[in-house]
Amino acid sequence: MTALTQSAKGLRVFASDVADGFFEITHNGLALLGVALVFFVITLAARPDLRQVGEEKLTGWLQSRQIVSADIEVEPDAVDRATATDPKDLPKQQAAVAYWLSKKYHVAPEPVSALVAEAYQIGARTKLDPTLILAVMAIESGFNPFAQSAVGAQGLMQVMTKVHSDKYEGFGGMLAAFDPVTNLRVGVKVLQDCIARAGSVQAGLKYYVGAANIQDDGGYAGKVMAERARLYKVATGHSIPVERAPAATPKLVAGGDEKVAMLSPSHSTGAPGN
């Protein structure tokens, strides 16, 4: 019993010595830190030049950190602004159409996939065949969202921006003509109105191209319908060889009761061929 008591007493003494030693080391360390800090402050007070250099370096470091922080905050928004979709995320028929158009018109499949998905969505709402919408886009601009004709038709579906400026008001103004999705939506609205007015798709395409009151539309409606037929076959699982993109089409634009002849956007804007 005496041995156990002596062992416990020895352990208590040992623990007490360790604690005292730790306190001394910590106390002395803090004291040294305090002395160093006082020495540093006295040095800066005695040497204004060192203080100025230190302030400049500190300011520069803080500014660089702010710039890096700002970049990190802005970067993720770029993905939200991009008009692109992974074709693998689309339904099978839409993905097939996107890949086919990508090959034919030499454009990346991701932005085309976004347009294909939008065409199918807006087609369901407006009761228009999405392959018709995509065919108009193909013949009009070759999927160039920045295309512009000599008379002011702009964007993917070559809408006459100034004529249809009211349709862009809900999208922030006429510059939205160069936003691919906005141009698609406005173009579909114009196409829908043309078909309703003419009474059929074929006749509506003549209205759309500005040839409503003349017999010859320069083959425009025929080219759109042919491209639509190819896209429909692709969408339904048929293997359609990729041919050259549609050639230049004489496009007519209404100017009062007169028609102004011009080359189609696919020619004037250099739409890619295959």
Confidence of residue 249 (pLDDT cuts 50, 70, 90): very low
Give the type of residue at 32.
L
Integer Cα distance of 170 and 182 in angstroms: 10
Beta bridge partner(s), residue 117? none
The winner for highest mean pLDDT among 2-16, 57-71, 182-196 is 182-196
- Does residue 145 carry a pLDDT above 80? yes
H or E segment at 254? strand 250-255
Angle subtended by helix axes 109-126 and 180-198, to nearest 10: 40
Integer Cα distance of 186 and 140 in angstroms: 14
Beta bridge partner(s), residue 260? 253
Query: What is the CATH T-level fold of the domain 87-268, as seen in this structure?
Result: Lysozyme (1.10.530)
**Helical residues (DSSP H) of 2-47, grouped into ranges:** 2-46
Residue scoring higher pLDDT (115 or 253)? 115
How far, CA to CA in Å, does 230 sit from each of 19, 223, 224, 226, 227? 87, 11, 10, 6, 5
* CA dihedral for 244, 223, 195, 230, sign (positive or negative): negative
Average pLDDT across the chain, whole number: 77
Residue scoring higher pLDDT (71 or 201)? 201
Which residues have C-beta within 8 Å of that of residue 137, sequence separation ≥ 6?
Answer: 115, 119, 143, 156, 157, 184, 187
Confidence of residue 7 (pLDDT cuts 50, 70, 90): low
Are the CB atoms for 133 and 122 separated by under 8 Å?
A: yes
Residue scoring higher pLDDT (273 or 91)? 91
Integer Cα distance of 44 and 63 in angstroms: 23
DSSP 148: B
Integer Cα distance of 183 and 194 in angstroms: 16
pLDDT at 62: 64
Integer Cα distance of 8 and 13 in angstroms: 9
- Tell me: the pLDDT tens digits for 67-87? 444 444 445 566 777 889 999
Are the CB atoms for 269 and 141 separated by under 8 Å?
A: yes
pLDDT at 267: 35
Are the CB atoms for 116 and 98 separated by under 8 Å?
A: yes
Any idea where the domains of the chain sit in the sequence? 2-81, 87-268
